[in-house]
Structure formats: structure tokens, C-alpha cells
Structure 1
Amino acid sequence: MAFKRSKKHEQSRRAHAITRTITAVAVAFTFNSTPSVGTALAKTLTQAIVVKAVFRKCEAGNRTTCVVDGDTLWIRGEKIRVADIDTPEVSEPKCASELALGRRATDRLIELVNQAPFQFHAWPARDKDRYGRKLRVLIRNGKSLGNILVSEGLARTWSGRRQPWC
């Protein structure tokens, strides 16, 4: 049995899609137009917290300060989603190439967060994603760590929704 959505629901869904696209384009332009975080976005990023810790890959059980995958980590017991990027999945990949690239992104994020202290800032659009992860941008010396992963081909700039990697 097919479920028919109302016209109002479809209009609302389209409006949200347009808003997500505009936000993604603005963020992509800001993060990719210069090697450092743009001044306008930097002013909207609030709640800067400096993180200095030793990160490792997360294992079952203890998830206090560790990296889950290329865009998710735990910091001081809080699950964080790197808000400005999307990386391939490692827990439920759709193909072997996604798993391989996801593992490389995970390893590289571990390297980046362990190189030196960094700040994480609240995402201006909203505080948490639908899974309850806090949305944050990781910044060191004015540069997004997520943008480094994008420049190395290990991630995509977040577009407002996941795109297939296979």
C-alpha cells in the first residue's frame, strides 16, 4: 500500500531541502574559499572549547576520548559529529571501496586530533543531529580539521544530507 503525502507536507519538505542546500553552499563557500575559516562563519561559531587529549580508535565499551570514524569522535564522554564534513562509513559500508576510504579517513582524523590542541565550536545551525550527537567544527590555527580531510580526498563538505560513496 502506497502512502500518499499531503501537498502541504511536500511543500514543507521542499522548503527544508532548499534551506539545507543554501546552508550547505554557504558553509562550503566559507570553508573552501580560503584555507582558513571565513571571518563571517568564525563569528557565528560559539562556545569554543580547547581540546588537548590523546585520541585512539574507539573500541567497544570505553568511549571517553576516541575516534569512531572520519566524522565522529568522543571528547570527554560526549559524542561529537564533525559538522562541516561527511566521510565514508566504516560500521555499515555499502561497498569495499567505501570501507577502505572510511578507514583512511578515520586514521587521518586520529592523526589530526593528536597533532596539537584544537578548538571545537558549536555548529551555528543547530546543536545536535538526529542521533543526539553534538554538532561541532574542529579548528586549529583558524583552519577546519574537516576541511583538511576534504582537501586530502578523505571527506566531502557537508551538503545537508549523506551522499553515496559507492
Structure 2
Amino acid sequence: MKIMIDVQYASQAPDLPHRALLTTWVNSTLKSKESLLKQKAEMTIRIVNEYEAKQLNKRWRQRPYPTNVLSFPFECPPGVDIPLLGDIVICAPLVAHEAAEQHKTLYAHWAHLVIHGTLHLLGYDHISEQEAQIMESLEIQILHELGYSNPYQIAL
């Protein structure tokens, strides 16, 4: 499986993960679901500030506040064969705030959100309880393989 990731840094937040680390997290997710993909794929990860995250969340989800991750799966029109998975937008300041609030390491939270967003690009969702259980178990498994703990366990 060959993935090309366009990483766009549109935030000046400190301690942003490097392209290589983002690619590792995406590849770990794709490896777990390789049969769903063609030989090559492309995607974009855009790292933004709170203002841009708020504007995108308001426009696409009608929610007037920033969110940690947004996923935009690419829906290929019939007869067109483009190996594009879609785009993930991650709000860097919100990731840092949530990591501190949840007593997680910053990169563990980044890894979780990149994996979460990538799974959305692959068609997973968490609207129903059953879908949420499937998606969360995949996230936990992939994070475990990367050496990170379960993001759904509350740290004290």
C-alpha cells in the first residue's frame, strides 16, 4: 500500500507532529484495513488554528464552535478513478487543550485523532452505538500496536 499525504501546516501552535509521524499513524490505520483500498491512495492532513476549525465546523456541520478533527471523505463520481481518500482537518490548539485536560500525552492524542479521522475517510462512523463500538475498538487496537494506551479510559 502506497499512501501520499499532503500535510498542510496552517497553525503556528508549538509541538506539531512532523510529516513522518503523521504518515506512520495513517499507515498503521490503512494497514489494518488494507483490503478496502487500492494500491495507491492520496489524502490531505491540514493542521489549523481554532478560527479555521470553527469556520469549517460551522459551514459543514452547522456547529458554531471549533472541533478537534473533521474528516471529508472523497466521493468519486461514477466512471472516474481517482485514488483520493479525502481530507482531515485537525485543530492544533484544541488537541493540546484536550490532551492536557484528559491527562494524555500530546502525541498520544494526536495519534488518536489522526487514526480517528483516517477511519472516517475509510467509511467508518460513530453515529449509532454499534458503529461507535466498531470504530472505537479499531482505534484502540491500532493505538495499542503503536504503543499508545486506550484513549477511552479515563486517566486519574
TM range (shorter): 0.3 to 0.5
Instruction: Choose between structure 1 and 2: higher strand proportion.
Output: 1
Q: Please, what TM-score do these two structures have when normalized by structure 2? A: 0.32
Instruction: Choose between structure 1 and 2: higher helix proportion.
Output: 2
Which protein has greater RCO, CA pairs closer than 8 Å, 6+ apart?
1
Q: Please, what TM-score do these two structures have when normalized by structure 1? A: 0.31
Flag the structure with larger Rg: 1
